[in-house]
Amino acid sequence: MAGGAQGGAVSAPAAIQWRDRRRRLTNVVMLTLTGVAALLTVVPLVLILVHLFTAGLSSVNLDFFTRLPAPVGEPGGGMGNAILGTVFLVGLAGLLGLPVAIGAGLYLAESEGSRLANGIRFLTDVMNGIPSIVVGIFVWAWVVVSMGHFSAFAGGVALAIMLLPMVTRTTEEMVRLVPRELREGGLALGFTRWRTTLGIVLPAARSGILTGVLVSLARIAGETAPLLFTAFVNPYWGWSLDQPIAALPVQIFQYATSPFEEWHRLAWAASLVLIGLVLAVSLAARFLIRSPYKDR
């Protein structure tokens, strides 16, 4: 590169000096660019949050949490049913998905080196990558078709399927972080395998697993696509597993794509509430629960 200059009229030290200056300049320019990239990625976050507050905050009041949606053209109304519906669906998904997910995570953590476990681990990652809309359609073809109608139960199943691979993998990782000595200590004291795992290893990994669970629950709370053809929509309060049920993300989608100004306003308010819910849960998971082994 700069070597060609050495044979010319310019003396060697000058050429080297020039080259060094160029290297330093490149260094500063490129490193600044990475900083600019970092800045650019944070800009949308700020824009989105600012807009959510300015457009949504004025509509978040007590009515918003306690009332049913008002019919088109009537002012006021709230999304109480959708907020409750989201909590209901996430709870149902947790009930259906968490025991299996934690069991599967334990299985993966406990069968080190097994080929079957490696295969299942890989498929868990594959399952994590399935588009959420495909999960929704699968559950439609499976649960909705056999029940004959949309239902909260189908929505819960769809969200549970989203939940399963996420929690399986975080559980596995958290159990693996528990020091070997703890497990060996239990076995050395004559505990059976299941008592060692359930009585010693699992409690030691509890905080980490709980963090993973909360973060995953927060994530599925914001899912829309799996619910479109399973839980469907419901303008009234839903209490039954057997009936369609409203959910915040679906309601936001419906309102945002409607032609009504009033509904757009409510969509912003609902987004603010949904984000508040999601962030509160994931932040709580992050800061309140500290795993003793996470930092190695």
Residue 129 touches other proteins, criterion: CB under 8 A: yes
Please name every residue paired with 77 in a beta bridge, in sequence order, or none if there are none: 69
Q: Which of 6, 17, 27, 66 binds other proteins (CB under 8 A)?
A: 27
SS3 state of residue 69: strand
Residue among 47 and 72 whose Cβ is closer to other proteins: 47
**Number of residues this chain uses to bind other proteins (CB under 8 A):** 86
Question: 69 pairs with which residues across the strands?
Answer: 77
Using CB atoms within 10 Å of the CB of residue 245, give its burial: 0 to 12 exposed, 13 to 18 middle, 19+ buried.
buried
The least distance separating other proteins from the CB of residue 9, rounded to whole angstroms, comes to: 27
φ/ψ region of 169 (left if φ > 0, alpha if ψ in -120 to 50, else beta) reads alpha
> Per CB under 8 A, does 258 bind other proteins?
no
Q: Looking at beta carbons only, is 9 or 115 nearer to other proteins?
A: 115
User: Which letter does DSSP use for residue 58 in this model?
Assistant: G
Q: What would you report as the CA-atom Rg of the chain, rounded to the nearest whole angstrom?
A: 27
62 binds other proteins (CB under 8 A): no
Phi and psi of 77, rounded to 5°? 85, 165
Of the residues 138, 182, 235, 289, which one makes contact with other proteins according to CB under 8 A: 138
| Residue 157 C-beta: closest distance to other proteins, Å | 10
Q: How far apart are CA 112 and CA 114, in angstroms?
A: 6
Cα(252)–Cα(261) distance, integer angstroms: 13
Q: Which of residues 90-119 bind other proteins (CB under 8 A)?
A: 99-100, 103-104, 106-108, 110-111, 114-117, 119
x/- contact string, 31-60, with other proteins (CB under 8 A)? Answer: x-xxxxxx-xxx-xx-xx--xx--x-----
Give the x/- contact pattern for other proteins in 164-203, rule: CB under 8 A: xx--x-----------------------xxx--x------
* Residue numbers 262-281 binding other proteins by CB under 8 A: 264, 267-268, 271, 274-275, 278-279
3-class DSSP assignment, residue 77? strand
Q: Footprint of other proteins on residues 196-255 (CB under 8 A)?
A: 197, 218-219, 221-225, 228-229, 249, 252-253
3-state helix, strand, coil in the chain (%, to 5): 75, 0, 25
